[in-house]
């Protein structure tokens, strides 16, 4: 029987949807890739094989709606994609597993820790992982050197994150940024480490990428880096926290050594580069879900492989707009 996949919050994640479609075609022919979203104009709605409108993940009936889609489409794998829903899915994983549906999510304790930037760095530092020192507002003292960096304790996409040059700016941003954490300003090249773990937390693939140019919090131009130090950081993080599925580790190279400042236990925005460089996470995930043994392939990717991104659009006549559960594919024209 083919394995059908559901990707939540499809939004602009067209490359991820297409990567899973390609993997499904190779690994389990006849399977489909469906998406859910709240907005009928999200481009992934018109790329996926099926698309369903669901409420926001904060609504009390959200999981019920996801479960309904899973039954209708005989879904065997659910892939959550946004931080807000990870812990919810982790806590409900047993509910889905009882229906033979695998949820690709790390344990609830891990997702909760990673959603909290203070707890993330505290946990990593306690385990000996080189993570940036992180303070709550009441922990700062007059001797703390500038520049600093302030951001929400819970947040994503770089929203509400600011460099702080002096005490006057610090006093302002402590009132401007809600529930903040403060860190030393890390001034060095930025990297994402894409890692895939099996369902027992064993790393299968670790691919470091330099974030050369970032736009709206997502890498716009980047390259793979076969750095033993960065690959080892991935291993260290996997020992410090139990993961399952995709993880992206954010760090900067400071004084010649990597310093972690954030972990997201989900697919990164730059995952298309990692997949294109030869680390086919979707295919490995499908094999794991089907109960097949997947051998670790750490370091097996094309080094110095570049990605330079551009916008693409999906053009839709009005009669094709909307969720039908069996979306008719519209023509898309790529634009620079």
pLDDT, one tens digit for every residue, the chain (336 residues):
899 999 999 999 999 999 999 999 999 999 999 999 999 999 999 999 999 999 999 999 999 999 999 999 999 999 999 999 999 999 999 999 999 999 999 999 999 999 999 999 999 999 999 999 999 998 988 888 999 999 999 987 678 899 999 999 999 999 999 999 999 999 999 999 999 999 999 999 999 999 999 887 788 999 999 999 999 999 999 999 999 999 999 999 998 899 999 999 999 999 999 999 999 999 999 999 999 999 999 999 999 999 999 988 999 998 889 997 844 444 344 443
Residues 6+ away with beta carbon under 8 Å from 34: 4, 5, 6, 7, 48, 49, 50, 51, 52, 69, 73, 75
CATH superfamily of 110-115+187-304: ATP-grasp fold, B domain (3.30.470.20)
Pairing between strand 75-79 and 162-164?
Answer: unpaired
19 CB-contact burial (10 Å; exposed 0-12 / middle 13-18 / buried 19+): buried
Residue-wise over 179-198: b if at least 16 C-beta within 10 A, else e?
Answer: ebbbbbbeeeebbbbbbbbb
pLDDT at residue 171, rounded to an integer: 94
Common-topology check for domains 4-105+312-334 and 110-115+187-304: no
CA 265/CA 140 separation, integer angstroms: 29
Asked whether the beta carbons of 252 and 186 are under 8 A apart, the reply is: yes
Helices 108-115 and 83-91, packing angle to 10 deg: 160
Edge-to-edge strand order for the sheet containing 33-37? Answer: 50-53, 33-37, 4-7, 75-79, 102-103
* Residues 236/239/241/243 CA torsion (nearest 10 deg): 100
CA 18/CA 5 separation, integer angstroms: 12
Pairing between strand 257-264 and 245-254?
Answer: antiparallel
Q: Any bridge partners for residue 103, and if so which?
A: 78
pLDDT at residue 218, rounded to an integer: 84
CA 133/CA 124 separation, integer angstroms: 10
pTM here is 0.93
- What 3-state class would DSSP assign to 100? coil
State both tokens at 1: 């029987």
Q: Any bridge partners for residue 191, and if so which?
A: 210, 251
Which CATH topology does 4-105+312-334 take?
Answer: Rossmann fold (3.40.50)
11 torsion bin: left (phi>0), alpha (psi -120 to 50), beta (else)? left
| CA 125 to chain CA mean position, Å | 22
Residue-wise over 299-312: b if at least 16 C-beta within 10 A, else e?
Answer: eebeeebebebeee
pLDDT at residue 217, rounded to an integer: 77
Strand locations in 153-265, DSSP E?
162-164, 180-184, 190-197, 203-215, 218-224, 245-254, 257-264
Sequence spans of domains, the chain: 4-105+312-334, 110-115+187-304, 133-184
pLDDT at residue 327, rounded to an integer: 44
| φ, ψ (nearest 5 deg) of residue 335 | -130, 145
Which of 1.10.287, 3.30.1490, 3.40.1720, 2.60.120 would CATH assign to domain 133-184? 3.30.1490
């Amino acid at each position: 029987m083919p394995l059908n996949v559901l990707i939540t919050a499809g939004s602009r994640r067209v490359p991820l949807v297409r990567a899973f479609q390609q993997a499904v075609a190779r690994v389990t022919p006849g399977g489909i890739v469906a998406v859910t979203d709240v907005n009928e104009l999200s481009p992934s709605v018109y790329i996926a094989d099926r698309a369903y409108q669901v409420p926001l993940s904060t609504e009390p009936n959200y999981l019920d709606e996801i479960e309904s889609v899973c039954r209708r489409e005989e879904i065997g794998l659910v892939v959550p994609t946004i931080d807000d829903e990870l812990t919810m899915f982790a806590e409900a994983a047993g509910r889905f597993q009882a229906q033979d549906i695998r949820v690709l999510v790390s344990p609830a304790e891990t997702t909760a820790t990673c959603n909290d930037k203070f707890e993330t760095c505290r946990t990593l530092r306690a385990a000996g992982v080189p993570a940036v020192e992180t303070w709550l507002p009441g922990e700062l003292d007059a001797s703390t050197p500038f520049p600093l960096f302030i951001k929400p304790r819970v947040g994503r996409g770089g929203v509400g994150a600011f460099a702080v040059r002096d005490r006057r700016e610090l006093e302002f941003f402590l009132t401007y940024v809600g529930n903040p954490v403060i860190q030393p300003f890390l001034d060095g090249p930025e990297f994402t480490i894409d890692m895939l773990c099996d369902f027992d937390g064993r790393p299968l693939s670790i691919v470091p990428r330099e974030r050369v140019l970032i736009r709206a919090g997502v890498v716009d131009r980047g390259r793979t880096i076969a750095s033993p130090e960065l690959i080892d950081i991935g291993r260290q993080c996997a020992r410090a926290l139990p993961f399952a599925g995709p993880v992206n580790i954010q760090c900067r190279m400071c004084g010649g050594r990597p310093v972690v400042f954030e972990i997201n236990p989900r697919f990164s925005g730059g995952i298309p580069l990692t997949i294109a460089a030869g680390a086919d996470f979707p295919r490995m995930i499908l094999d794991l879900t089907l109960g097949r043994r997947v051998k670790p392939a750490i370091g097996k990717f094309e080094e110095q492989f570049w990605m330079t991104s551009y916008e693409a659009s999906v053009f839709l006549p009005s009669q094709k707009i909307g969720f039908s559960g069996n979306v008719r594919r519209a023509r898309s024209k790529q634009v620079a």
